[in-house]
């Protein structure tokens, strides 16, 4: 008995001893001291003026960095499961963290800028010539020439299904070592835009991209350690061809639980925390060490309706569902006020912000009720609308963080006389329901940034992969055909707006607001700018420690 008690006592003591060693070893040493540094900052700021608090906050990480200078800790809900850029989503993580680069990139204003390319020229309606920058090299020192770029893009086309929308219409050939000819199957395809997506990052196709030792990319940071789905450690690439960041080492960690990620930011351990949930915004209130970077993402929270269901095949019912939405209230209830309402799908794209209030310019419940009456749905004594004795039922399927949004929609539609039901669950349930056709409405948010024709045909052409509800409108199809042929940028813009408006009128989908995108950034860090595609724009040469 005594021996058992002694053994238990020893185990408990050994476990509890960890309590005192919070700042020992590896990253923990940095994190632990970072935490203490920030604690000092908190203490200082408690009695100081805001400006002093800010100064103390910026000093805290420099104290932390004294033990392990230049290490930046980024926490996200997911990191790569593989190092190979052609594996699903790997290239987005590699770009986010500064390891991977494409030929072009998109700045925060939505303009396409050269990255590995020096520039591109459209020589005729179906041909582009891309000139590569001089002296660019992979981590291994191998030159990034026309052959290497073509081999990389061909590998992505062959192995990465997510690269298909950007590469499928392109045929690449070499003009000389620094010039590539791109021929397109469609006229006036915006090739630089296509080659700016993370799915097209340039990697050495000759190298085995399956280990830290053999992978070969071109970014300013090299991967030095990798634990799948756990962490990615990177160090500055000393031979980088371009402008370098002052930060020497980056640790990119996967912290799946969103509350834990928030606490990691508040504790001072993580300098950058991605995908902060809107429900946690209040926790950051008054914290002098962290600031929130919020840029509305260029994707629209959208309710996709199943037009094959009898009650939704009537355009008046769909329009009524849209008129009956108080989008401002939805943003307050489901996104903590983070965002602006958008009544049309394309308008979360900064270039189409003008269409934000098109068609459904205000919340109008009376108009919605009138449309439902016209469609034959009369209000019953129980507050539900009926037609031929059948109630107007709408089953809305939600997943992930959209439960609150689903419930807010349910509340608004119920006031309209719609018997709305919310079914929250795994995305697999939605996929299964869509395959069987047994669904009424689902919430999804696709990107609204990119080539207008690709975007709109993917959503609203009869074969579009996101046309879940079976929308097939003759006028929309005609406009899409015109857009495909349009050569002039202004005309493309005009046509895209007309399609966007036509779709809003027909209401196969109901647009709500851009998905909030919030990043928590330690004030010890400078240079992280808001970007509508923040998930691939975190690490750049502009990042620096505030005290440097």
Task: Select the residue interacting with other proteins from 77, 143, 165, 350 (CB under 8 A).
Answer: 165
Across the beta sheet with 300-305, what order do the strands follow? Answer: 419-424, 393-398, 441-444, 300-305, 509-514
Q: Is 46 in the site for other proteins (CB under 8 A)?
A: no
Tell me which stretch binds other proteins (CB under 8 A): 23-31, 338-346, 366-374, 519-527: 23-31
Q: Is 313 in the site for other proteins (CB under 8 A)?
A: no
Vertex 193 angle, CA 200 and 88, to 5°: 30
Retrieve residue 283's tokens.
Answer: 């926790």
Q: Where are the beta strands (DSSP E) in 353-472?
A: 378-379, 385-387, 390-391, 393-398, 419-424, 441-444
Task: Select the residue interacting with other proteins from 106, 163, 201, 539 (CB under 8 A).
Answer: 163
Task: Select the residue interacting with other proteins from 3, 17, 47, 389 (CB under 8 A).
Answer: 17
Least separation in angstroms between residue 518's CB and other proteins is: 18
Tell me which stretch binds other proteins (CB under 8 A): 5-13, 303-311, 339-347, 414-422: 5-13
Tell me which stretch binds other proteins (CB under 8 A): 29-37, 236-244, 307-315, 353-361: 29-37
- Considering only residues 364-423, where is the footprint of other proteins by CB under 8 A? none
Nearer to other proteins, 218 or 459 (CB): 459
Q: Is 23 in the site for other proteins (CB under 8 A)?
A: yes
Q: How big is the site for other proteins, counted in residues (CB under 8 A)?
A: 83
> Is the CB of residue 182 less than 8 Å from the CB of residue 191?
yes
**Residue in 541, 535, 547, 548 with CA at minimum distance from that of residue 272:** 535
Q: Is 41 in the site for other proteins (CB under 8 A)?
A: no
Least separation in angstroms between residue 123's CB and other proteins is: 25
Q: Is 489 in the site for other proteins (CB under 8 A)?
A: no
Q: Is 282 in the site for other proteins (CB under 8 A)?
A: no
Task: Select the residue interacting with other proteins from 109, 111, 154, 426 (CB under 8 A).
Answer: 426
Q: Is 36 in the site for other proteins (CB under 8 A)?
A: yes
Least separation in angstroms between residue 251's CB and other proteins is: 8
- By CB neighbour count within 10 A (0-12 exposed, 13-18 middle, 19+ buried), where does 267 fall? middle
Task: Select the residue interacting with other proteins from 109, 111, 154, 168 (CB under 8 A).
Answer: 168
Task: Select the residue interacting with other proteins from 3, 19, 243, 282 (CB under 8 A).
Answer: 19
Handedness of CA 453, 454, 460, 463 (dihedral sign): positive
Retrieve residue 481's tokens.
Answer: 């055909």
Q: Within a 10 A sphere around the Cβ of 173, how many other Cβ atoms?
A: 11
Vertex 165 angle, CA 160 and 166, to 5°: 85
Q: Is 28 in the site for other proteins (CB under 8 A)?
A: yes
- By CB neighbour count within 10 A (0-12 exposed, 13-18 middle, 19+ buried), where does 206 fall? middle
Nearer to other proteins, 385 or 523 (CB): 523
Question: Alpha-carbon distance 258 to 279, whole Å?
Answer: 10
> Is the CB of residue 508 less than 8 Å from the CB of residue 305?
yes
- Considering only residues 59-118, where is the footprint of other proteins by CB under 8 A? 73, 81-82, 87-89
**Residue in 488, 492, 505 with CA at minimum distance from that of residue 456:** 492
Q: Is 8 in the site for other proteins (CB under 8 A)?
A: yes
Task: Select the residue interacting with other proteins from 447, 472, 477, 540 (CB under 8 A).
Answer: 447
Q: Is 161 in the site for other proteins (CB under 8 A)?
A: yes
Nearer to other proteins, 19 or 282 (CB): 19
Question: Alpha-carbon distance 34 to 502, whole Å?
Answer: 54
> Is the CB of residue 240 less than 8 Å from the CB of residue 248?
no
Using the structure block, give the residue that is written with the tokens 């997911």. Answer: 78
Nearer to other proteins, 181 or 231 (CB): 231
**Between helices 26-46 and 50-67, what is the axis angle to 10°?**
160
Q: Within a 10 A sphere around the Cβ of 207, how many other Cβ atoms?
A: 17
Least separation in angstroms between residue 387's CB and other proteins is: 32
Q: Is 212 in the site for other proteins (CB under 8 A)?
A: no
**Residue in 378, 359, 390 with CA at minimum distance from that of residue 417:** 378
Write phi, then psi, for 378 (nearest 5 degrees). Answer: -100, 150
Least separation in angstroms between residue 79's CB and other proteins is: 10
Q: Is 478 in the site for other proteins (CB under 8 A)?
A: no
**Residue in 119, 170, 149 with CA at minimum distance from that of residue 218:** 149
Q: Is 270 in the site for other proteins (CB under 8 A)?
A: yes
Tell me which stretch binds other proteins (CB under 8 A): 356-364, 416-424, 455-463, 521-529: 455-463
Nearer to other proteins, 304 or 377 (CB): 304
Tell me which stretch binds other proteins (CB under 8 A): 156-164, 306-314, 318-326, 409-417: 156-164
């Amino acid at each position: 008995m005594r021996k058992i008690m002694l053994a238990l006592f020893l185990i408990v003591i050994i476990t509890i001893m960890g309590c005192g060693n919070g700042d020992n070893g590896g990253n923990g040493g940095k994190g632990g001291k970072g935490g203490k540094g920030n604690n000092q900052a908190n203490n200082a700021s408690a009695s100081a003026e805001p400006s002093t608090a800010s100064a103390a906050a910026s000093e805290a990480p420099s104290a932390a960095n004294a033990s392990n200078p230049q290490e930046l800790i980024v926490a996200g809900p997911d990191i790569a499961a593989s190092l190979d850029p052609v594996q699903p989503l790997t290239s987005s993580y590699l770009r986010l963290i500064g390891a991977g680069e494409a030929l072009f990139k998109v700045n925060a204003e939505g303009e396409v800028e050269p990255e590995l390319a020096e520039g591109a020229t459209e020589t005729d309606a179906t041909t582009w010539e891309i000139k590569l920058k001089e002296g660019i090299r992979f981590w291994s020192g191998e030159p990034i020439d026309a052959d290497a770029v073509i081999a990389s893009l061909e590998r992505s086309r062959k192995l990465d299904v997510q690269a298909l929308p950007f590469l499928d219409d392109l045929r690449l050939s070499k003009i000389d070592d620094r010039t590539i000819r791109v021929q397109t199957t469609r006229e006036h395809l915006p090739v630089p835009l296509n080659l700016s997506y993370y799915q097209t990052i340039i990697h050495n196709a000759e190298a085995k991209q399956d280990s830290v030792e053999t992978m070969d990319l071109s970014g300013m940071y090299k991967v030095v350690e990798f634990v799948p789905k756990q962490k990615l450690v990177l160090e500055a690439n000393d031979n980088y061809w371009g402008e370098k960041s002052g930060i020497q080492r980056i640790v990119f960690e996967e912290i799946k639980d969103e509350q834990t990620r928030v606490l990691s930011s508040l504790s001072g351990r993580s300098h950058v925390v991605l995908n902060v949930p809107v429900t946690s915004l209040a926790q950051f209130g008054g914290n002098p060490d962290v600031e929130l970077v919020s840029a509305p993402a260029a994707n629209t929270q959208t309710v996709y309706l199943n037009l094959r269901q009898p009650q939704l095949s009537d355009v008046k019912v769909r329009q009524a569902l849209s008129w009956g939405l108080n989008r401002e209230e939805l943003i307050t209830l489901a996104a903590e006020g983070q965002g602006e309402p958008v009544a049309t799908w394309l308008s979360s794209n900064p270039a189409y912000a003008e269409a934000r209030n098109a068609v459904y310019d205000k919340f109008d419940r009376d108009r919605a009720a009138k449309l439902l009456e016209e469609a034959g749905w009369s209000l019953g004594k129980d507050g539900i609308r009926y037609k031929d004795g059948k109630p107007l039922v709408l089953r809305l399927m939600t997943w992930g963080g959209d439960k609150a949004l689903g419930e807010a929609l349910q509340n608004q539609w119920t006031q309209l006389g719609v018997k709305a039901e919310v079914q929250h669950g795994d995305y697999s349930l939605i996929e299964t329901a869509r395959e069987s056709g047994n669904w009424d409405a689902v919430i999804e948010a696709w990107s609204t940034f990119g080539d207008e024709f690709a975007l709109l045909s993917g959503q609203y052409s009869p074969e579009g992969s996101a046309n879940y509800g079976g929308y097939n409108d003759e006028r929309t199809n005609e406009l899409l055909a015109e857009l495909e042929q349009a050569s002039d940028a202004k005309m493309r813009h005009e046509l895209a707006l007309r399609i966007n408006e036509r779709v809003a009128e027909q209401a196969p989908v109901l647009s709500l607001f851009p998905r909030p995108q919030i990043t928590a950034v330690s004030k010890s860090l400078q240079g992280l700018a808001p970007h509508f595609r923040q998930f691939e724009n975190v690490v750049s040469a502009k990042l620096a420690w505030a005290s440097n």
